[in-house]
Structure 1
Amino acid sequence: MWQDSYECQGNETIIWDCATTPGNGHNCSGRSAVSVICSGQLRLTGGMDNCSGRVEVLRDETWGTVCDVFWDLKDASVVCNHLHCGPVLSAKAEAFFGEGNGSIWKDVTECRGNEMRLNECRISSWGDQPCTHKNDAGVICSADHWHLRLAAGEGRCDGRVEVYHSGVWGRVTDDLWDFKDADVVCRQLKCGSAVNAYNHGKYGIGKGPVIMSNVSCIGG
């Protein structure tokens, strides 16, 4: 339990950039652990992989589908950028990937196409569209870029290194794996600097194919 008090201004990139006050006098326990839910989370469901499917957005702790009114390639392109799924191939409408459940976000999204996240796009109306789940928007991204994630850890920024390529998540072997390699992974995922580099014994062996081996980064 890290008991230091963080005093962030709100414009820092990572929490380690915030000022801290030693918390040695605090009486913290497991019940004092903090948590957070971020807005604007995005996922694709019902598709062939993580880079195709029905668009769903998390708002106020609720996942909802996106209305397809005025949904076009520019909007779909931003979804692909947001999910690091490469260039967009197609913008789908009329529940192409099946009808979702629950909430429907009926705002009209007007993206220019160069935004990196869907919540950076302009919203032209709020809840005025007569949408049902038959109007759920979808997207197909090319997924031809290499993607990276950390699996089996306690959060987004720790875990087993896995690479997505050619439609499948695979493993990185620990031959020559060192702190410089780990530091590059952390920077790519916008997780700050590496604290440690582990072999397969820390987070277990993944089930996918070996996609990379003998990685040797300069680390600069």
Structure 2
Amino acid sequence: MTNYGVRFVLALLLVPLSFPFIVEGGESAAQESPALQDSAQENSPQEAEGDESPPGGGFTLQSSTGPVSLEDLRGKVVLLYFGYASCPDVCPLDLHNMATALDDMDDKTRARVQGIFVSVDPQRDTPEKLAEYTEFLHPNILGLTADEKTLREVATRYGVQYYRVELKGSDLPYAVNHSAATYLIDPEGTLRFIFPHNTPTSVLLEASEYVLAQFPEEAVES
């Protein structure tokens, strides 16, 4: 990552959030990279560690073509987002940023990055509907969902909160209030970064490149 990208990621830590921002499997990225160390000192962020960090972890959810597990994506960086297809503003913006970051990657990098959009509105968002929705976003973004019990369990492990809000005087019977964050999972399935709503595409791109550089393809395949 460039100094600018790293600095911006860490500066975002200063925004009050209901979840930690950087997760590094027990160590923060700032402890690992000299550039991150310098930026962390400059911005004095509060680093997430221990029990304060959501554990993340594996999952198996449904796509329009069948079940997809995080384990299936081993060797790739995963950009994970929780939302719903009827979301009027927040989800479209974050997913647009994800898609733009994917577009801006070179071919080799893009081949090792998978976007995932998990719907927390299983009543309306069938796997088939999500496939149509993500088709217009980017070929590297996959739409997944599951039954309510499974979704709640996975969302909780990623620190995601969501609940339905009944709407009056609207064509839609309800909306879904939800946490808005993009999660970056490394090629070994470890949650590494949590980016808040409307994180710039350049940061998503640089963070993906930064993590992939730590996992050469040969090492992952072996």
Higher helix share: 2
The interval holding the TM-score normalised by the smaller chain is: under 0.3
Higher strand share: 1
Tell which structure's C-alpha radius of gyration is larger: 1
> What TM-score, normalized by structure 1, do the two folds share?
0.27
Q: Which is bigger in relative contact order (C-alpha 8 A, separation at least 6)?
A: 2
